[in-house]
Amino acid sequence: MTAGPFAGVTEIKGVSLAVALSGLGQHWRQHSHCKGRTVSTDSYDNFLSHAWASSGWLKYLSLLILFNARAAMVSTILISVLIGVLRMMAILPNMVWTQLPCYVIYFSTLAMWQRIRDVFRSPRIVFLDRLCIPQDDEEKKSECIRGLAGYLDRAHTLTVLWSNEYFGRLWCVFELATFLRNRRSRPIQLLPVEMSMLAFLIGLCYSMVNLAYRTIMEARNMTVAGSLKTTPWLATLRASGWLALVGVPVIPCYIYLGLDFMMKLRLLPTQLRTFDARKASCYCCTVDHTDPQTKTPIFCDRKLIMEKLTEWYGDEVCEDTDMEIDGAIEQFNHLVRKELADVFLEMMSGRDVLWQYIYLLIGMNCPVCTYLLGDMGFPPDSMEGVITGTVIVVFEALVLVALSYTVVELIRAEPSSLQVTISDPRSKHVSRLALMLSAAADSFFSCWVLMVGRSSPSPFSPFLGFFLDPAIPRRLLSEQTLTGLVLGIILVSVDVLSELSRKFVLMAMMLRIGHGLLHPNGAGERAAASELAGFQVAQPEVIGVGTGVIFQVHHVRKQGILGFKLGGIAAVLVAANGITLVYS
């Protein structure tokens, strides 16, 4: 029998992280009855806090990213460099199949790193309620729940898998508030589960496009001379069409899911500021205190939590003021709305969240190093496109990092929106469709850019021939190098024109509001109209829908505004820079 906060608990159980992640996330499915091997422990490396109502697959993926992505990145870098050197020395052929081991190593390490780590180091012990608290003995279960504060006190780190349902569940808020009640400078790890899916999708899309591109180029190089009766323009267009078939199906889904995620982030501060323990849900109450599988009665968790709240706040706060249970609940609500809300929103804006996704994206795109190193082993005449290819790869990596950075800036920006016209109710779906189509078109254009920048002969040959000096080594200045520069200028010009168009529409809106042609909704928003200089018009700026026109204006912090327009990233950055789909 254990004393203190564990009174009534005979043995403190923990589970290794490898067991918690075993079976492709079988322990994270809501109605799973799988059991894992537990061990006796005095402390926990991580207390895993999550909502069972959220997707088990997303939580499983988030934990893989949090604990395994860095090891997967390092292993992929090592194997990619090794294969690249072997290709450079002509030990391995410069073919696409030699790149496949990099992906195999990456995904294997991502899925099984904790098993590998346990061979060389002591396992990481975590607390997972389903495995560490007896589920088939209601008496022992209630004893463990009453001693939950003791479990949290013995945890070195609280790991929060945040989802939209998290702060609607009484258990989750109780765990987080309990940990912060006696924090003692212990760290809190936070990972939004839906952002994990978005980062994984965009990384997977880039990997698929890279493999498809290499396969297409390899097939073109193997074509018998004279059999490909087409111009470089048509060949490039055809190849980019195949690439678009790979990338385009992913990008619209990515944009749609990303917009949903951004909307949920917008509502998070309001959700925290209006929290009420009386309205928060418990699983036992949603199933009428009866197990759906076995039909046996379930003890009410809400009753246990309310007893604990009364014990904490009733003794310390209520005894002098004669407050009853309602007073204790109000004290808990105040803790969540003020202290907990500030701490959680600050964590959401931290750089620790960003780095986990950077590890994931770098690891998934490291196999391109095999080609960069392999091309260095060829003579100068075969070096065409290496410089351009390197620049494009670096630019792609910067865009991926910028995407993750922008998401963090989004959370910190706390943007406000101003809707200045009345729009049709269907505008929500029209706006999303417009963004998705814009992303699909940009994706096709990006694939075409990559193909043009690396095709030989270049479609720009007639124009670039005037600038090529035969005396200049082709390794330093080739048709493809100049092609890359031309395309880079085009992309920058598109960005500049896009920014000018936004400013033009913004100026037009200021003039129309100044003359009373447009009327903001509400007196508070009318006052904000005078500060339009700090607002940015979202893309697309104007959308015609039936009887109305939408002008969406958003205020964002300056460091959150990034002017990238490449592939599907454009719409994502627009969403990350302030799109809030508010409609009348």
Going by C-alpha positions, the residue among 217, 226, 209 that lies closest to residue 384 is 217
Q: How far is CA 336 from CA 269, 313, 331, 433, 447, in A?
A: 11, 13, 9, 38, 48
Evaluate the CA torsion angle 396, 397, 398, 400 in order and state its sign: positive
At 332-341, the pLDDT tens digits run 888 788 777 7
Structural domain count, the chain: 3
Q: Quick one: which of 134, 98, 321 has its CA closest to 218?
A: 98
419 and 360 assigned to the same domain: no
Shared domain check, 16 and 160: yes
pLDDT, the chain, mean: 64
Cis peptide before 457 (omega within 30 of 0): yes
Indicate the DSSP class of residue 227.
Answer: -
Residue 235 belongs to a domain? no
Phi-psi region of 545 (alpha: psi -120 to 50; beta: other; left: phi over 0): beta
Q: What phi and psi values does residue 157 have, to the nearest 5 degrees? A: -140, 140
**Is residue 152 within 8 Å of residue 48, measured between CB atoms?**
no
Residues 316, 354, single domain; the answer is no
Task: Pick the more confident residue, 316 or 78.
Answer: 78
The predicted model scores a pTM of 0.66
Q: Are strands 44-49 and 125-127 parallel, antiparallel or unpaired?
A: parallel
In a domain, 268, yes or no: no
The predicted structure's pLDDT at residue 377: 61
| Bridge partners, 127 (sequence order) | 47
In a domain, 508, yes or no: yes
**326 and 371 belong to one structural domain:** no
Rg (CA), the chain: 28
Residue 395 has pLDDT above 50, yes or no: no
- 569 burial via Cβ count (<10 Å: 0-12, 13-18, 19+): buried
In whole angstroms, what is the distance from residue 257 CA to residue 288 CA? 33
Domain span at 305: 286-332
Q: Using CA atoms, how far apart are residues 418 and 583, in angstroms rounded to an integer?
A: 10
**DSSP conformation class of 476:** T
Q: What is the pLDDT of residues 97-123, one digit of tens each?
A: 888 899 999 999 999 999 999 888 889
Whether residue 108 is found in the same domain as residue 9 = yes
Tell me if 398 sits within 8 A of 236, measured CB to CB: no
Give yes or no: residues 303 and 373 share one domain.
no
Asked whether residue 90 is domain-assigned, the answer is yes
E strands in 397-534: 416-419
Is the residue at 72 inside a domain? Answer: yes
- Do 328 and 420 belong together in one domain? no
Same domain, 506 and 465: yes
Examine residue 464 and state whether it is found in any structural domain, yes or no: yes
Residue range 490-519, pLDDT digits in tens: 545 544 444 444 444 444 444 444 444 344
Residues 354 and 450 occupy one common structural domain: no
Q: How far apart are CA 482 and CA 412, in angstroms?
A: 40
The DSSP code sequence of 2-35 is B-GGGBT-S--EEEEHHHHT-TTTGGGSTT----
Residue 61: C-alpha distances to residues 100, 133, 482 (Å):
22, 23, 42
353 lies in the same domain as 328: no
Task: For residue 179, tell me if it sits in a domain.
Answer: yes
pLDDT in tens, 47-96: 999 888 888 899 999 999 999 999 999 999 999 989 988 888 888 888 88
pLDDT tens-digit map of 420-466: 333 334 444 544 454 455 445 544 544 444 444 444 444 444 444 44
Examine the domain organization and report whether 446 and 369 are in the same domain: no
pLDDT tens for each residue of 166-212: 888 888 888 887 887 765 667 888 888 888 888 888 788 778 777 77
HSE-CB at 258 with a 13 A cutoff on CA atoms is 32
> How is residue 123 annotated by DSSP?
P
Q: Are residues 308 and 418 in the same domain?
A: no
Q: Are 543 and 432 in contact (CB under 8 A)?
A: no
Is 30 within the bounds of a domain? Answer: yes
Helical ranges in 414-478 per DSSP H: 427-454, 461-464
